[in-house]
């Protein structure tokens, strides 16, 4: 297809935490390599992009850089040329909300009103601004999974009324997303399971949703034959204090296995909240000397940590796609993962799948791998080939081009909704 001028929107794009920053970096490079003129418009934290790509830094308060009220207050006071969106953002955060998606949509709309693009791809804001943007230009809204699933699992972990109120307040942006999503004509999601959940929770018509899997760079996430692994070293990638990631169950499994394997250890790619639930649980289970956390490391460094390990664990309760699953498999390491949401779509028959919320199943599976490493290493090697064949960016990029062509061809002006301006 002809070269397109493409704008990728991302309300936050942390390069080392969560999948959004990874997705933006990989997608932007893929589209650039296909010959398109790609610009990324992102809020803080900003992504790490290929040097050839253009990054436009969205204005914004970045209030979640700190959780200290005094620091947030002075950050707001010192911020120059404050807009209505800035005032709304500060007040919403003050009362326990998460307004970044909504205010980002306003800022993105202002940018697009002054600049012309052939196509806009928005990474998960599902904000009122997107309803307006799709009037101006062809728009693809990426929804990795409906955030309703995050709220559901968080509420399930704690029955305290104050906690539940605070969670409902934090996720108040869902009211906006539930209004906007059914109005968007082109939604993209990375798994068939996510499509099912978007239809159910956001009431989106099935014909408005396309499924294109995410991909991993197997030249980065690869085996390192020269690195000797530790025979009883486990590795997992998880936002440590996010209930959705199910880290608790891996820790309970580690505690049980430590009675049999004296040298067993767990590396967590992620960071726990200081004094938070995960730190308390590690102390309770007497695992302080067995659990290590690493964060802020590069993809190459993560791949090398996989090479040093003997088993990867993904104990998530839900994944819209599951980058840690695909990355571990690409590194050719035996994988134990929960049989839930999108994960079976990725693993096929090349991982040990277990029920979620089951620490005994984790420990039993890890034990089997420890006792039969050659068998499971052979399965893992086939898993890498599976990832290379099905989840590579060259193949995925061609699927994106087909979708982009369709969206541009079918673009028609849409009547503006009542909430499009804010």
Half-sphere exposure of 125 (CA within 13 A, CB side): 31
Pick 59 or 390 by higher pLDDT.
Answer: 390
Q: What is the pLDDT of residue 17?
A: 63
How is residue 230 annotated by DSSP?
P
Question: C-alpha distances in angstroms, 273 versus 149, 317, 353, 414?
Answer: 22, 20, 29, 44
Contact 12, 45 (CB under 8 A): yes
Q: What is the pLDDT of residue 354?
A: 98
Evaluate whether 388 touches 330 at the Cβ level (below 8 Å).
Answer: yes
pLDDT band with cut points at 50, 70 and 90 for residue 412 = confident
244 vs 184 pLDDT, higher one: 184
pLDDT of 111-154, one tens digit each?
Answer: 999 999 999 999 999 999 999 999 999 999 999 999 999 999 99
Name the region of 203 (left: φ>0; alpha: ψ -120 to 50; beta: rest).
left
293 with 241: CB under 8 angstroms? no
Nearest to 218, CA basis, from 136, 162, 300, 128 = 300
The predicted pLDDT at position 157 comes to 84
Nearest Cα residue to 420 out of 203, 182, 109, 174: 109
pLDDT in tens, 311-337: 999 999 999 999 999 999 999 999 999
Average pLDDT over residues 207-212: 98
- Do 135 and 413 touch, CB atoms closer than 8 A? yes
Please tell me which residue, 180 or 1, carries the higher pLDDT value.
180
Q: Give the helix/strand (H/E) hosting 197.
A: helix 192-202
Cβ contact 333:312 at 8 Å: yes
**Across residues 378-391, what is the average pLDDT?**
98
Query: What pLDDT is stored for residue 319 in this prediction?
Result: 94
Q: What pLDDT shows up at residue 130? A: 97
pLDDT over threshold 70, residue 18: no
Local structure of 147: helix, strand or coil: coil
Under the banding of pLDDT at 50, 70 and 90, the label for residue 69 is confident
Exposure string of 386-395, with b = 16+ CB inside 10 Å and e = fewer, is: bbbeebbbee
**209 backbone φψ class: left, alpha, beta (φ>0; ψ -120 to 50):** beta
SS3 of residue 38 by DSSP: strand
What integer pLDDT is reported at residue 249 of this predicted model?
Answer: 97
Q: How confident is the model at residue 420 (pLDDT cuts 50, 70, 90)?
A: very low
Indicate left, alpha or beta for 6 from its phi (over 0: left) and psi (-120 to 50: alpha): beta
pLDDT at 16: 65
Among candidate residues 176, 108, 173, the one with its CA nearest the CA of residue 136 = 108
> Are 414 and 185 within 8 A, CB to CB?
yes
pLDDT-based confidence at 91, cuts 50/70/90? very high
Q: CA–CA separation, 236 vs 314, rounded Å? A: 6
Nearest Cα to 407, choosing from 114, 233, 208? 208
Q: How many CB atoms lie within 10 A of CB 366?
A: 25
Supply the pLDDT for residue 422.
44
* Helix (H), strand (E) at residue 119: strand 119-123
Considering the chain, what percentage of its residues have pLDDT values greater than 90?
85
pLDDT grade, residue 419 (50/70/90)?
A: very low
In Å, how far are 101, 127, 165, 249, 267 from 176, measured between CA atoms? 9, 7, 18, 33, 38
**Cα gap 297→16, rounded to integer Å:** 7
pLDDT for position 241: 78
**For residue 414, what pLDDT is reported?**
57
For the chain, what is the largest distance between any 2 Cα atoms, rounded to a whole number of angstroms?
65
Question: Bigger pLDDT: 158 or 399?
Answer: 399
Residue 415 has pLDDT above 80, yes or no: no
Q: How confident is the model at residue 245 (pLDDT cuts 50, 70, 90)?
A: very high
Q: Which residue has the higher pLDDT, 419 or 371?
A: 371
Instruction: Round to whole Å and give the CA distance between 264 and 252.
Output: 13
CA distances from 180 to 42, 121, 126, 190, 209 (A): 20, 16, 6, 19, 14
Average pLDDT, the chain: 94
> pLDDT digit string (tens) for 265-293?
999 999 898 889 999 999 999 999 999 99
**pLDDT score for 14:** 82
Q: State the first-to-last Cα distance of the chain, in angstroms, to the nearest integer.
A: 35
pLDDT of residue 62: 87
Q: Set out the domains of the chain in order of their start, with CATH numbers.
A: 5-215+393-410 (3.40.50.2000), 233-390 (3.40.50.2000)
Tokens of 394: 């060259």
Residue-wise pLDDT tens digits, 329-362: 999 999 999 999 999 999 999 999 999 999 999 9
Nearest of 1, 2, 48 to residue 24 by alpha carbon? 48
> DSSP 3-state assignment of 156?
helix
Which residues, 6 or more positions from 250, have their beta carbon under 8 angstroms from its beta carbon?
Answer: 234, 236, 238, 266, 313, 315, 359, 362
| Whole-structure pTM value | 0.92
């Amino acid at each position: 297809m002809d070269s397109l001028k493409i704008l990728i929107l991302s309300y936050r794009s942390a390069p080392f935490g969560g999948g959004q920053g990874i997705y933006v970096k990989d997608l932007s490079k893929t589209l650039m390599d296909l010959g398109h003129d790609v610009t990324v418009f992102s809020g803080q934290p900003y992504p790490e992009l290929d040097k050839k790509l253009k990054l436009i830094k969205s204005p914004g308060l970045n209030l979640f850089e700190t959780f200290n009220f005094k620091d947030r207050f002075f950050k707001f006071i010192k911020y120059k040329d404050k807009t209505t969106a800035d005032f709304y953002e500060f007040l919403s955060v003050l009362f326990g909300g998460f307004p970044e998606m909504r205010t980002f949509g306003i800022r993105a709309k202002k940018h697009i009103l002054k600049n012309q693009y052939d196509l806009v791809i928005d990474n998960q804001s599902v904000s009122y601004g997107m309803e307006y943007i799709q009037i101006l230009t062809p728009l693809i809204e990426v929804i990795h999974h409906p955030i309703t699933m995050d709220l559901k699992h968080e509420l399930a972990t704690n029955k305290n009324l104050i906690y539940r109120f605070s969670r409902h307040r934090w996720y108040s942006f869902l009211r906006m997303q539930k209004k906007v999503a059914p109005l968007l004509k082109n939604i993209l999601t990375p798994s068939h399971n996510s499509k099912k959940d978007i239809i159910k929770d956001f009431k989106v018509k099935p014909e408005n949703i396309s499924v294109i899997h995410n991909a991993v760079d197997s030249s980065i996430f690869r085996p390192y034959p020269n690195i000797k692994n530790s025979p009883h070293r486990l590795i997992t990638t998880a936002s440590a204090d996010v209930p959705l990631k199910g880290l608790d169950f891996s820790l309970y499994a580690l505690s049980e296995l430590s009675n049999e394997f004296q040298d067993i250890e767990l590396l967590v790619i992620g960071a726990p909240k200081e004094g938070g639930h995960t730190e308390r649980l590690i102390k309770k289970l007497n695992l302080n000397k067995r659990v290590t956390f690493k964060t802020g490391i590069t993809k190459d460094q993560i791949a090398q940590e996989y090479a040093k390990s003997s088993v990867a664990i993904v104990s998530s309760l839900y994944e819209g796609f599951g980058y840690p699953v695909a990355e571990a498999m690409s590194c050719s390491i035996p994988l134990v993962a929960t049989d839930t949401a999108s994960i079976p779509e990725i693993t096929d028959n090349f991982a040990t799948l277990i029920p979620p919320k089951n620490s005994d199943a984790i420990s039993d599976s890890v034990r089997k791998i420890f006792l039969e490493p050659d068998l499971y290493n052979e399965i893992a090697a086939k898993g890498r080939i599976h990832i290379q064949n099905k989840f590579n960016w060259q193949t995925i990029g061609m699927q994106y081009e087909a979708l982009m062509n369709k969206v541009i061809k079918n673009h028609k002006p849409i009547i503006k909704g009542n909430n499009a301006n804010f």
